[in-house]
Structure 1
Amino acid sequence: MNGQSILSEQASSEQASAGQTSSSAPKTDSADGQAFIAEIVARARAAQKIAATWSQERVDEVCVAVGWSVYNDENIRKLAELAVAETGMGRVEDKITKHKNKVMGVLRDIRGVRTVGLMEEDPARGLRKYAKPVGVVGALAPVTNPTATPASNGLSILKGANAVIFAPHPKAKKSTTLACTFMREALRKVGAPEDLVQVIEEPSIELTQELMRQVDLIVATGGSAMVKAAYSSGKPAYGVGPGNAVQLLCEDADPEDAAKKIATSKSFDNATSCSSENSAVVHRAVWDRFLAGLQKEGGWLCTAEQKKALRHYLWVTGKNGQENLNPAIIAQDADKIARGAGFDVTKGTRFLIVQGEQPIESDRFFWEKISPVLTVLPCDSFEEGLRFVERITDLCGTGHSSGIFTFREDYIDRMGLYMRSSRIMVRQPMVSGNGGTFFNGMPSTVTLGCGTWGNNITTENIHWKHFINVTWLAMPIELNRPKDEDIFGDYWKRFGK
């Protein structure tokens, strides 16, 4: 997501790992800040050294215990209520659902997977692969998902017998700390070192930067400034590109089905997820039925005047002269956003709908909005719609995701070949589909790589495989060198030697 980054916030410097008395770190003395981070990293390394000796069965036992601590109903409700109260973003019930799905999804994915010792063997090629920990991971958590992110990423990191230190967003430090507290309690319950999970309870820019310098690997989930800082830290890093998810409805789409799925996805947790549909490009053959379906599902179709009012409310000009999202609208209820813009909507409105305008590049509503506001745009053909989707994602979100509602295999294949998207959802709500769900085969995660298109190192969903080192052991095999004629024969026949 774009929006507020941990590295653009000032915070106090008193620090601690969850479940322990807070340690102090002076606000101005960088040397003391370095020493404080060095101390918690040292604790993490000591704990990880123990985890590195574990069998696969012991690792799995620990993961199940930690998973239950952030899955059971009592703890999840506490986390969801605190997250909403502290950040003012999202909905409690949706956050509970998110926790249930994400944690169970990760537990499903890591079950039975070998991440310790010999993990794979290929006798024909004489290859053996041995999994080993990456060490201590620094994990930066966003304000929009302050509890689901550490729960999901924490399990994937622990699966590799690693330790993790979370750096929360300053506006979500209590809820992230509580999630880590639950995980630490679970570690203690099964006799594992609590310091496998730690958190900076009072985060600051300087301490987060120092954390990134001292750990072995960074995973940055959040704003572009955060990700850029992670990549500039000098340590290996997994970051995410901006989200600007766009759906394409073709002429053969089921518009009522699409409307129901997109409405549910768009309004879920007030669009805190970067996978929340930001726009929908719709073939004119299904345009009217789709809009009617959206309104039936709680969408409010804005008039031209209401769109104009929203335009001035959703984006504000800062002191630097740059136009950015108004923090007051991020992940807020649709009726609250409407009132802020100066108009009222009917009771039960879940999201706002605005019609996009040409040229696409001049209409700000095609940018990521991180709020329950959906932009819709008609198209006259599949190819025109595909080009519109490309242009919209290129404004911000190249490499992230796109989706398509169609039953035509040629359309599906064309989109797969053409779009510079790391993930494409077919007839699915993107907020759940992108990060892995129980109705598709995507790895479950809250951290979505966007490839070089989004200035990331990978296009994959960041999951357990990204938190292990793999040693390749090669045994001698029978000589397997091809003849020159096997490789160059066809070329010689056409062009000569």
Structure 2
Amino acid sequence: MNHMDIDLLSIQEARILIENAREAQKLLAAFPQEKLDEIVKHMASEAAKYARELAVMSSEETGFGKWQDKWIKNIFVSDFLYHKIKDMKVVGIIAEDHENKTMDIGVPVGVIVALVPSTNPVSTTIYKALIAIKSGNAIVFSPHPKAQKTMGKVLEILIRAAETSGLPPGALSYLHTITVSGTIELMKHKDTALLLVTGVPKMAKTAYASGKPVIYGGPGNGPAFIERSADIKQAAADIIASRTFDNGIVSASEQSIVVEDCIAEEVRRELKKRGAYFLSEKESEELSRFFQRPDGTINPEIVGKSAGEIAQKIGLSLPDDVKVLVSEQKYVSPTNPYSREKLCPILAFYIERDWHNACEKCIELLLNDGRGHTLVIHSQNDHVIREFALKKPVSRVLVNTPSTLGGIGATTNLFPALTLGCGAAGGGFTSDNVSPLNLINIRKVGYGVRKLEDIKGVHHSEENESDLKEQLENLLERLLNK
């Protein structure tokens, strides 16, 4: 079968999926929260049963990351996230203010089209399916070609669980004939209400061009700033644990370390103790040529690989206890691969005179790549923490925590999510850790509490009116003659 035939099949399938989803969602829109919750409970418990098997499958199919950490993420969404959302009121009357006589009604947006990255295919799929059904929406997935088998398996498990609990057929579905044309058809179809895109930067522009609202969880380039008052041992332990989690492919993960000059030596020592290897200038140069392709994109051969595997690519043989490769850098630029997102356990290391300079360096890094995402600060100084929180172009500032797990809401009380909004800075319309509340419209109900006369207040006399008119005319004249 030639490409054109496959494209046409894919486009046709996309249209059918959206039309079926639209009809299923009409039924779903009438479901009370309790009924939706019952379906979501069954989906989550089934997903949890297969969490380990799907983690192994995902690692084998994509070659990215560590299955043990993927297993943790799969449990995180099917158990921890589930418990967070199970009692949430998302549809129907979700808030009532008796004193002010207002009411909020949650209304599903309709049909959602979801794109998922090959780096986290299972956990992101479970997460999106749960929050979409919880909020009464139909959701159609376009699986990532590199994780097609795994995503097909997880979606079949979720669909079976949901439909046996009463989900209308077609409300949760996915594209089987995967092509770019089919995905575009899903996105721009007249009955598609919202696009929920995580990763897949190649499709981000296409998503925005579809004319639909887009919730985009894009790439991160989060710096970790270690300030002089920090618990340096803990900061080093957090950064290494976070950077090596699933071999560094979570977008909230630290990409660089920025330290104050006065503690740089101590930080270096602590990082080395915990498995950091500082590359020489020559090794840094060789590695940078390998991990960025001529067109500026990251070489897929290093994505989700361990530090040892990456070192071998440049003929560097390292001890088994090396977990992270660190390259000391001075400058930030779009052509310097160390100052961009690196989907593997490599960190850039910058030394600055004081926290003011460190602040500027963090802003430079964030504006260079991954704007609007995440920043982490290790400090005991509340003034500095607040200054950082007020000034940075990010959607999440994490304090004294591993960024990977803090960003997704595992080690912080941020909402547990695998789509981390990057806000207007990152080209999206929400900066939230995306929850079911981002997938509804809120219908406002307001009872009349005042009469028109109350608004008009005191009537001006004729005299007052003409005085006022004269004053306004004089003011206007002065402004025009400035």
TM score, norm. by length of structure 2: 0.90
Question: What SS does the corresponding residue of 1:67 show, helix, strand or coil?
Answer: helix
The CA deviation string for residues 114-144 of structure 1, in whole angstroms up to 9 with x for no partner, is: 1221111123332111112111110001111
Q: Report the CA distance between 1:42 and its aligned residue.
A: 2.3
> Partner letter of residue 398 of structure 2?
M
Task: List aligned pairs for 1:345-356, cutoff 5 A.
Answer: 345-356=318-329
The CA deviation string for residues 244-274 of structure 1, in whole angstroms up to 9 with x for no partner, is: 0111110011111001111011011011111
Q: Report the CA distance between 1:359 and its aligned residue.
A: 5.7
Kept in 1: contact 2:374–2:394 (CA 8 A): yes
Question: What SS does the corresponding residue of 1:399 show, helix, strand or coil?
Answer: coil
- Equivalent of 2:122, from 134, 137, 147? 147
Which residue number corresponds to residue 235 of structure 2? 258
Kept in 2: contact 1:156–1:463 (CA 8 A): yes
Task: List aligned pairs for 1:65-464, cutoff 5 A.
Answer: 65-72=42-49, 75-214=50-189, 215-317=192-294, 322-358=295-331, 363-437=336-410, 439-464=411-436
Question: What SS does the corresponding residue of 2:395 show, helix, strand or coil?
Answer: strand
Give ranges in structure 2 of 5+ residues lacking alignment: 459-470, 477-482
Distance 1:359 1:52 in 2: 49
Check 1:360–1:233 CA distance in 2 against 1; reply closer, same or farther (3 A cut).
Answer: closer
Q: Report the CA distance between 1:288 and its aligned residue.
A: 2.1
Which residue number corresponds to residue 467 of structure 2? none
Check 1:103–1:12 CA distance in 2 against 1; reply closer, same or farther (3 A cut).
Answer: farther
Distance 1:375 1:102 in 2: 30
Distance 1:50 1:26 in 2: 34
Check 1:28–1:362 CA distance in 2 against 1; reply closer, same or farther (3 A cut).
Answer: closer
> Partner letter of residue 232 of structure 1?
A
> Partner letter of residue 469 of structure 1?
N
Kept in 2: contact 1:174–1:201 (CA 8 A): no
- Equivalent of 1:53, from 30, 35, 39? 30
Distance 2:314 2:202 in 1: 28
Check 1:267–1:135 CA distance in 2 against 1; reply closer, same or farther (3 A cut).
Answer: same
Distance 1:376 1:365 in 2: 9
Which residue number corresponds to residue 17 of structure 1? none
> Partner letter of residue 58 of structure 1?
K
Check 1:483–1:264 CA distance in 2 against 1; reply closer, same or farther (3 A cut).
Answer: farther
Q: Report the CA distance between 1:381 and its aligned residue.
A: 0.6
> Partner letter of residue 243 of structure 2?
K
Kept in 1: contact 2:14–2:175 (CA 8 A): no
> Partner letter of residue 419 of structure 2?
T
Q: Report the CA distance between 1:111 and its aligned residue.
A: 2.3
Distance 2:207 2:95 in 1: 31
Distance 1:39 1:105 in 2: 34
The CA deviation string for residues 359-418 of structure 1, in whole angstroms up to 9 with x for no partner, is: 666643111111110111111211111111111111102211111101111011101111
The answer to whether residue 446 in structure 2 is matched with residue 469 in structure 1 is no
Question: What SS does the corresponding residue of 2:344 show, helix, strand or coil?
Answer: coil
Which residue number corresponds to residue 4 of structure 1? none
Which residue number corresponds to residue 6 of structure 1? none
Identity %: 26
Q: Report the CA distance between 1:39 and its aligned residue.
A: 1.3
> Partner letter of residue 5 of structure 2?
P
> Partner letter of residue 456 of structure 1?
G
Which residue number corresponds to residue 27 of structure 1? 6
Q: Report the CA distance between 1:482 and its aligned residue.
A: 8.9
> Partner letter of residue 27 of structure 1?
I
Check 1:481–1:252 CA distance in 2 against 1; reply closer, same or farther (3 A cut).
Answer: farther
Kept in 1: contact 2:193–2:212 (CA 8 A): yes
Check 1:187–1:354 CA distance in 2 against 1; reply closer, same or farther (3 A cut).
Answer: same
Distance 2:436 2:347 in 1: 33
Distance 2:270 2:79 in 1: 31
Check 1:475–1:359 CA distance in 2 against 1; reply closer, same or farther (3 A cut).
Answer: closer
> Partner letter of residue 381 of structure 2?
R
Distance 1:12 1:412 in 2: 58
TM score, norm. by length of structure 1: 0.87
> Partner letter of residue 346 of structure 2?
V
Distance 2:33 2:2 in 1: 40
> Partner letter of residue 284 of structure 1?
D
Kept in 2: contact 1:173–1:202 (CA 8 A): no
Q: Report the CA distance between 1:107 and its aligned residue.
A: 1.4
Which residue number corresponds to residue 466 of structure 2? none
Q: Report the CA distance between 1:293 and its aligned residue.
A: 2.0
Question: What SS does the corresponding residue of 1:278 show, helix, strand or coil?
Answer: strand
Distance 2:177 2:240 in 1: 37
Distance 2:336 2:406 in 1: 27
Question: What SS does the corresponding residue of 2:44 show, helix, strand or coil?
Answer: helix
Question: What SS does the corresponding residue of 1:329 show, helix, strand or coil?
Answer: coil
The CA deviation string for residues 289-315 of structure 1, in whole angstroms up to 9 with x for no partner, is: 222222222222212221111111111
Check 1:28–1:183 CA distance in 2 against 1; reply closer, same or farther (3 A cut).
Answer: closer
Distance 1:245 1:467 in 2: 26
Select between 300-309 and 168-177 the one with higher mean Cα deviation: 300-309
Check 1:312–1:440 CA distance in 2 against 1; reply closer, same or farther (3 A cut).
Answer: same
Distance 2:77 2:261 in 1: 36
Larger C-alpha radius of gyration, 1 or 2? Answer: 2
Q: Report the CA distance between 1:187 and its aligned residue.
A: 1.3
Q: Report the CA distance between 1:59 and its aligned residue.
A: 0.9
Give the alignment's Cα RMSD to 1 decimal.
2.2
Q: Report the CA distance between 1:468 and its aligned residue.
A: 1.2
Distance 1:471 1:35 in 2: 34
